[in-house]
Structure 1
Amino acid sequence: MKHLKSLRAFIEALKQIGEVQEIDEEVDWDLEMSAITRRSMDLRAPMPVFNKIKNIAGFRALGAPGGLSAKKSYKYSRVNIALGVEADASPLEVIEKLVAARKRDLIPPVISQNKKVPCKENVWIGDDVDLLKLPTPKIHMKDGGRYLQTFGLNIVTTPDGSWTNWSINRMMLIDKTRLACLIPPNQHLGMIHAKWKEKGAPTPVAIALGVEPGLPYVGGMPVPENVDEAAYLGAYFNEPLELVRAETVNILVPATAEIIIEGHISHIDVYEEGPMDEYPGYVGDEGSPKPVLHVSAITYRDNAILPFAVAGTPVDENHTGWGLPHAAETLYLLRSSGLPVSMCWIVLESANHWMVVAVRKDWHEITNLSSKEVAEAIGNVVFHSKAGFGIAKIILLEDDIDVTNPEEVIWAFASRAHPYHSEIYFSEQAQNILPVFLEPTEKQRFKVTKVIYNCLLADRFDRDKRPVRSDFNNAWPASLQEKVLQNWKNYGYSDEG
């Protein structure tokens, strides 16, 4: 695997395949940057790099760092290149590599030995701190404010130093020195924040923006409590991440980051944060008081680049950034439980509301279980895990389906799920509160009834009578398939169809 160690190396790699659009025309941080980015995502056009931002000096911005491409071969190129595989690889290769890394020993980060590290080329401390000089976008028209942190890493450490957590949680600009922070109490960031409250001290935090491209994906991966995501990334690439000590908090930060923001999150001060359009794909409709982060330092690279995500209808970074890592962690958990699972995939086009679990076609022979029993075993693993916190709907299929192809998933679901007895329910399961299908009482309790749609066929038919797909690979002789493929261009078609 190729380990790209900076955002700039990531951008250069994508330039080589035509997946970057440099924009030299001046654009406004107030909605214009994000509108261009959203349009690029809707068209699956190259990711925009904004080189000139109105009333902002010395900073650039990057939109859609985890978006998809319209080029069939490079559909997942941004995710693939970020995680070290070939640009044209199947995203399932990334998932398998993430699973494999979960089985290896962690490789802790190391402190950079370079006397001059990129993230400290410029240092603002104390009175020099001014968040308003950064190219923070106003993303959506009805957002409660400008959102600085949508695709960076919040780094926090427990008071005893035993656990460092890296996560992505949104932060809204208040003024020169303050941010309002979304800190869900049941996520790892919230757990560590609570530990500092118990100690009676504000929570030290560093926000790393424009980090090396693999970090946001492990930051979005639901690894267990007490696992350092940076050490997991070390295991993934088989080499340690290089860090450097922050200026005003006792936290190690990525040496090649574009921008580092340091400070302390209060347990007393709050500010109205939100609304914000979020990953389910709907306009935000309410805000609420959130803890305030008081900024003590900002360090940054020369001509620094701020990456940002434009949440909304799929597909954007909110879907790729936690969809693939969540699928990988779920696959690891199910395989570790001894279940015959071939692959897990979160359907990005569903705005991460559907997870597909594919089992081996011979699952019935090797387990002696009914499909209902298999579904119950899968649900008991997934819905009781951190990875399943945001998943309320699972489609369970045999692995003759390409789980990454939404057209195949829709066909299989529609044709294989019985209209009466396919649903298997799991009551009172933990759930995040962002999906719009939730009732008010479910949001208050962080609980909902979840479901597996059982589309398995193997126990419903004799082995020699099971339905077989009528497609190119199954309904014509192999010799004729080969002839057609060899003569495809002679018929006048291109490789793309």
Structure 2
Amino acid sequence: MTETLGKDEVLRIDGADRDLDIGGITELMAEKEGPALMFDNIPGFPAGHRVFTNFMGTAARTAVALGLPADTPKLDIVRAWKDLSRRLEPVPPVEVASGPVLENVLVGDDVDLNIFPTPQWHDGDGGRYIGTACMVITRDPDSGWVNVGTYRACVQGPDRLSLWMLGNRHAKAIAEKHWERGRSCPIAVVVGQDPILSTAAAIAAPSGMSEYDLAGGLRGQGVEVLYAPGSDLPVPAYAEIVIEGELPPVDEESVLEGPFGEWTGYYTHSGQETVVRVDRIMHRNDPIILGAPPMLPTVPAGDQAVPLYSASVTWDHLEASGVQNIKGVWAYARQLMMVVSIEQTGAGDAMHALLAAAGRKRTGGMERYFVVVDEDIDITDVNHVLWAMFTRVDPAESLQVLRAPTTAIDPRLSPAKRAAGDLSMGIVLIDACKPFAWKDHYPAANRVDEATRDELRKRWAGLLAM
């Protein structure tokens, strides 16, 4: 993939520490829609043992990963994917005798997952997760169907890997079939592969169809796979790293897995989960860990001038209305969305702020959305505001719709209402705060904290100044 991208799309970084730097730099550069990052010469590991992140972080890189020209317009990428999925014809994998993944084969006492520079992606993670964009391969013992999924995988020791497999996923069902027969489930975990395989694994093909067939259809040619000696699982011949072993029942062997900063932007699940007893590691020369650590589920924000007037007037009105502990006020799209940050000290604080902010609305104004968030949200960054709305709002409890005056330039006014002189419009009050009654028990966020960000900016001033 790196060979097909422009020079500004991939940045090589030498000397980054796997725990102190890689996760934080990846997050900070992703927030900027920066280049894909190839980390090399990682302290404590041989040169060439690398980590590659942000590999689909821009439209250009997403297009290349899907086999499209790098300059494909964003909407055309979506259209191409939609059209391709509609007419997709599965293409089965092609078996080959050998491939680059067999350049190094470790078995017995040579098995050691610690040879790879697996990062700790977030400060609060319960371990180093080598599998964030990985492929987990299993075979159904009844039908022979090969399933490929994506599950988080954590290094638990030289020959132990933990997996968190949700109960409603195919791999868990396949594993349970093996366990019911009184045996462990053969399994392979692939770390580093064609992004089209990562995409297919995350999509999840219908039961009975292999994701290999789906990937072949998406790419237009069969995926080249091989079988290691004694294995019944096909693995990509051009994979970077393949970890093979067996998955015993949880009641036979388990390990504390998690927590892990997931895609919602929070740490959630942690518990006793199954392990992979690793008996073979295969990897290419100069192997690459393909890293896709979960980050806040946000979208890029456009530039906006500082909303001095509307924000400052609203702030004054809030204070005059007796709203306590206001941390800031900001406006988006001129003033169509007003956002207020508060520090909650009582159960009614959020609604008090919302009603007060809406009370400032005057005839001739088009303020439509009023949002209140906690003090940990950067309200000048729409990414953070959206994150709060997406993860802290219960639509059944957190939204209130009121009627208020609007202006004649409001495009949502119907002709009938204009003719009747009815210049009213609905407005939405959105409580995007953590529920006060249990806010201290709300899942902790996995965002790199400000102190760590400051340290990273100092250590990597040249890189992070861009």
Judging changes above 3 Å, is the alpha-carbon distance between structure 1 residues 204 and 92 closer, same or farther for their aligned structure 2 residues?
farther
Q: Distance in 2 between matches of 1:416 and 1:108?
A: 55
Matches within 5 A, 1:286-297: 287-297=270-280
Judging changes above 3 Å, is the alpha-carbon distance between structure 1 residues 450 and 255 closer, same or farther for their aligned structure 2 residues?
farther
Matches within 5 A, 1:303-452: 303-315=286-298, 437=392
2:95 is aligned with 1:111: yes
Q: Distance in 1 between matches of 2:93 and 2:186?
A: 19
Q: Distance in 1 between matches of 2:242 and 2:106?
A: 10
Q: Is the Cα contact below 8 Å between 1:248 and 1:297 reproduced in 2?
A: no
**Aligned counterpart for 2:126 among listed residues 144, 149, 153:** 144
> What code does the residue aligned with 1:64 have?
N
Matched with 1:56 is 45
Matched with 1:230 is 212
**Which 10-residue stretch deviates more, 56-65 or 126-135?**
56-65
Q: Distance in 2 between matches of 1:232 and 1:143?
A: 32
Matched with 1:11 is 2
Q: Is the Cα contact below 8 Å between 2:253 and 2:275 reproduced in 1?
A: yes
Aligned length: 330
Q: Distance in 1 between matches of 2:188 and 2:126?
A: 23
Q: Is the Cα contact below 8 Å between 1:205 and 1:249 reproduced in 2?
A: no
Matched with 2:253 is 269
3-state SS of 1:23 partner: strand
Q: TM-score, normalised by structure 2?
A: 0.63
Q: Is the Cα contact below 8 Å between 1:314 and 1:348 reproduced in 2?
A: no
Question: RMSD in angstroms over aligned alpha carbons?
Answer: 3.6
Matched with 1:211 is 193
Aligned-pair distance for 1:104? 3.3
Matched with 2:24 is 35
Q: Distance in 2 between matches of 1:119 and 1:462?
A: 66
Judging changes above 3 Å, is the alpha-carbon distance between structure 1 residues 289 and 89 closer, same or farther for their aligned structure 2 residues?
same
Structure 2 segments unaligned to the other structure (5+ residues): 302-331, 338-365, 371-389, 399-412, 419-466
**Aligned counterpart for 1:298 among listed residues 281, 288, 293:** 281
Structure 1 segments unaligned to the other structure (5+ residues): 1-9, 69-75, 316-346, 350-405, 420-434, 440-447, 452-459, 466-497
CA offset digits 1:402-460 (Å, max 9, x no partner): xxxx98xx99xxx99999xxxxxxxxxxxxxxx95599xxxxxxxx9899xxxxxxxx9
Judging changes above 3 Å, is the alpha-carbon distance between structure 1 residues 162 and 95 closer, same or farther for their aligned structure 2 residues?
farther
Q: Is the Cα contact below 8 Å between 1:97 and 1:236 reproduced in 2?
A: no
3-state SS of 2:254 partner: strand
Q: Distance in 1 between matches of 2:193 and 2:235?
A: 10
Q: Distance in 2 between matches of 1:94 and 1:126?
A: 46
Q: Distance in 2 between matches of 1:280 and 1:254?
A: 30
Q: Distance in 2 between matches of 1:437 and 1:274?
A: 22
Q: TM-score, normalised by structure 1?
A: 0.59
Judging changes above 3 Å, is the alpha-carbon distance between structure 1 residues 142 and 132 closer, same or farther for their aligned structure 2 residues?
same
Aligned-pair distance for 1:101? 4.0
Q: Distance in 1 between matches of 2:95 and 2:397?
A: 44
> What code does the residue aligned with 1:18 have?
D
Matched with 1:65 is 55
